């Protein structure tokens, strides 16, 4: 037995350590803001920091103070100015640097607020390399500046001619959020959600205005990819607002909110809505329609306000509350009673809408019955394939102890044995899986969902992801298309994106679909190797490495060895999210790129053609 084995681990007073607030946040940031990331995902930490600051401004507006919020993001620095009451000047420092300090514990001041635990801006402060807070209140001002949570300077109370409110300026810490970059499409989506939920509030992002007059109706209208089967139903009541319609799209599409907070993972309020819609529609038509037929193609948004909401994590993406508030009905009863009264009345008053809704339900019923036989055969084939081939090299972990997706789980979709082999050898087997395509996928644009079950590749991919019945069973948080950066690779990429947009648009809209960036060049000398993702990076590397470095042009993923691949799918992985812009309808995009409009597409290619010459190593 070695001396090391004989060593005794001591446990005494010296092992007990107390961390101050900022040390704890910096040591365990995931407890406060979820995952870190570099800004490529909508739920990355830098957006959580921004949201925590804006949430305070929204709460001020909700209490009747301040009609506009101005956000400026430039060169990685964020400025948020609201025109609320301003933080009480004697508590400016405490409110951003003392855990469990804030005005939201006083229900008289903030009855239905999101931020209830006094952590938000403290996390922003601790995780920012520079942070300042300035409060303007009744002709006076006070300023405090910090670095990684450490107070640098605190001004006295001075006179000011500025309007009441608060200005917070912060720059996320590069040592925490490595290589971060704010993607403005994510910030814009965040501000639009605030605008939809706070009619009358004007938000500005670098001067651009975000304002809504019709709340969730505007949200749904702007989010529609195609014409709805009937005009949007918009219902409002005390502490609840609902908008819904049906389209010809597959699946269900929900956006849910609690006290102005977008709950991207849904929760009890969204579940209550899904159940209530089925019950109300069945009662209205007097038919025991299948719930999946009633909800197929539904597009809906629901917002509720509850007292002291309980979320399943600090990032507040999933509601856990079952009650609306003390001495009030359960959340499930509250949502059902509202829809039973308002939706039922609406359908009685609008028989054309009721007929269109019933026609969509009957269409779903026919499609479900037509697919019943082939779906059973397809499931059997998928089970058999998973047992007898190696198309899917699965990972070991999919869900956490709350049965939610683990944030780091990834499925790489590759084409060809060499590429899938390299990724398989280089991956983290705990959280990264590989699905190997056999040749180019079918162009499924314009086809019905029957093709998903009849086509072996699509059937097995759907089974691997477990998304046949919606995203609730999705087995991987990130679905990454990993193809060569040549013409064939781009074509495969486009065919796969078409498949997801056509049959599983929620996968894209919820931010799960990515494209893997792999280096185009390797530049090296005897001392150093640099991988370059663009011509510009290559030229920079050549300049840094000096005279006559060796330059290799990677023509395909199969040329990259497993040892090298581990550099590109690990901590420094580069992913491009597949994002559908606010002004881009899915059907319009698919029709243009995958439809039969050859002259238009041909002209687009001619106008955007870029020729790159291969480098000689």
> Domain ranges in the chain?
21-210, 216-367, 389-518+556-608, 521-553
> Residue 38: CA atoms inside 13 Å, Cβ hemisphere, count?
13
Distance CA 26, CA 127 (A): 6
Evaluated on CA atoms 540, 545, 549, 555, the torsion sign reads: negative
DSSP-derived secondary structure for 157-176:
-EE--SPSEEEEEEEE-TTT
The per-residue pLDDT for 98 is 80
What confidence tens digit (pLDDT) does each residue in 391-444 have?
889 999 887 656 666 777 999 999 877 788 889 999 999 999 999 988 888 888
- Please name the residue that has the structure tokens 């648009």: 505
From the centroid of its chain, how far is CA 353? 32
Q: Does domain 216-367 fall into CATH 3.90.580.10? A: no
- Helices and strands per DSSP (H, E), number in the chain: 21, 23
The per-residue pLDDT for 374 is 87
Cα→Cα distances 213→200, 202, 261, 480, Å: 6, 10, 19, 38
The per-residue pLDDT for 608 is 54
Give me the phi and psi of 473, to 5 degrees please.
-100, 5
403: left (phi over 0), alpha (psi -120 to 50) or beta: left
User: Is the model's pLDDT at 248 over the cut of 50?
Assistant: yes
- Within 8 A by CB and 6+ apart from 328, the residues are 334
Distance CA 497, CA 492 (A): 9
**Average pLDDT across the chain, whole number:** 85
For the full predicted model, state whether its pTM sits above 0.85.
no
Give me the phi and psi of 266, to 5 degrees please.
75, -130
What confidence tens digit (pLDDT) does each residue in 116-135 have?
445 689 999 999 999 999 99
- Consecutive H or E run containing 301: strand 298-304
The domain 21-210 is placed in CATH, from the list 1.10.10.10, 3.90.226.10, 3.40.1710.10, 3.30.565.10, at 3.30.565.10
Mean pLDDT of 340-346: 96
Mean pLDDT of 347-361: 97
User: Is the model's pLDDT at 476 over the cut of 60?
Assistant: yes
- The band of 18, judged by pLDDT with boundaries at 50, 70 and 90, is low
- Please name the residue that has the structure tokens 């870029």: 610
What CATH number labels 389-518+556-608? 3.40.50.670
The per-residue pLDDT for 561 is 85
Task: Locate all alpha helices (DSSP H) within 435-486, ordered by sequence.
Answer: 450-454, 456-465
């Amino acid at each position: 037995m070695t001396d090391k084995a004989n060593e005794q681990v001591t446990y005494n007073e010296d092992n007990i350590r107390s961390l101050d607030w900022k040390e704890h946040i910096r040591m365990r940031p995931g407890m406060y803001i979820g995952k870190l990331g570099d800004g490529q995902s909508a739920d990355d930490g830098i957006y959580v920091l921004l949201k925590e600051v804006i949430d305070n401004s929204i709460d001020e507006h909700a209490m009747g103070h301040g009609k506009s919020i101005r956000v400026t993001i430039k060169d990685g620095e964020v400025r948020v100015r609201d025109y609320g009451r301003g933080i009480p000047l004697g508590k400016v420092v405490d409110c951003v640097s003392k855990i469990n300090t804030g005005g939201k514990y006083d229900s008289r001041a903030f009855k239905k607020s999101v931020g209830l635990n006094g952590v938000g801006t403290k996390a922003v402060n601790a995780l920012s390399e520079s942070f300042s807070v300035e409060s303007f209140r009744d002709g006076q001002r006070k300023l405090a500046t910090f670095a990684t949570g450490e107070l640098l300077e605190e001004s006295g109370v001075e006179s000011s001619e500025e309007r009441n409110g608060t200005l917070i300026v912060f720059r996320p810490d590069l040592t925490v959020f490595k290589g971060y970059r704010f993607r403005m499409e994510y910030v814009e989506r965040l501000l639009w959600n605030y605008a939809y939920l706070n009619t009358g509030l004007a938000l500005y992002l670098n001067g651009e205005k975000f304002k809504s007059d019709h709340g969730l109706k505007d949200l749904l209208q702007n989010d529609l990819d195609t014409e709805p089967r009937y005009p949007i139903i918009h219902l409002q009541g005390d502490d609840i607002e609902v908008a819904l319609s049906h389209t010809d799209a597959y699946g269900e599409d929900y956006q849910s909110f609690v006290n102005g907070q977008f709950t991207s993972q849904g929760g009890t309020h969204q579940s209550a809505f899904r159940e209530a819609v089925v019950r109300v529609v069945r009662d209205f038509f007097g038919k025991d329609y299948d719930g999946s037929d009633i909800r197929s193609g539904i597009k809906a948004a629901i917002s509720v306000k509850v007292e002291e909401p309980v979320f399943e994590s600090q990032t507040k993406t999933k509601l856990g509350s079952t009650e609306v508030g003390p001495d009030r009905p359960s959340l499930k009863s509250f949502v059902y009673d509202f829809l039973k009264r308002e939706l039922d009345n609406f359908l009685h008053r609008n028989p054309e809408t009721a007929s269109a809704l019933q026609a969509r339900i009957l269409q779903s019923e026919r499609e479900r019955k037509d697919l019943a036989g082939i779906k059973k055969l397809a499931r059997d084939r998928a089970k058999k394939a998973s047992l007898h081939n190696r198309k899917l090299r699965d990972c070991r972990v999919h869900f956490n102890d709350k049965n939610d997706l683990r944030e780091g789980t990834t499925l790489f979709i590759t084409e060809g044995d060499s590429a899938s082999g390299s990724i398989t050898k280089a991956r983290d087997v705990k959280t990264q899986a590989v699905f190997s395509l056999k040749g180019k996928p079918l162009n499924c644009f314009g086809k019905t969902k029957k093709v998903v079950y009849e086509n072996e590749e699509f059937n097995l991919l759907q089974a691997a992801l477990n998304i046949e019945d919606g995203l609730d069973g999705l087995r991987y948080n990130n679905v990454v298309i990993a193809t060569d950066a040549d013409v064939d690779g781009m074509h495969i990429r486009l065919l796969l994106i078409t498949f997801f947009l056509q049959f599983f648009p929620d996968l894209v809209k919820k931010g799960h679909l990515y494209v893997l960036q792999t280096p185009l060049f390797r530049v090296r000398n005897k001392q150093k190797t640099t991988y370059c993702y663009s011509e510009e990076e290559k030229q920079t590397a050549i300049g840094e490495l000096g005279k006559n470095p060796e330059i290799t042009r990677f023509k395909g993923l199969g040329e990259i060895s497993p040892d090298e691949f581990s550099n590109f799918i690990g901590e420094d992985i580069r992913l491009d999210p597949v994002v559908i812009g606010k002004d881009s309808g899915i059907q319009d995009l698919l029709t243009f790129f995958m439809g039969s409009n050859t002259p238009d597409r041909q002209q687009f290619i001619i106008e955007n053609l870029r020729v790159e010459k291969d480098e000689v190593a």
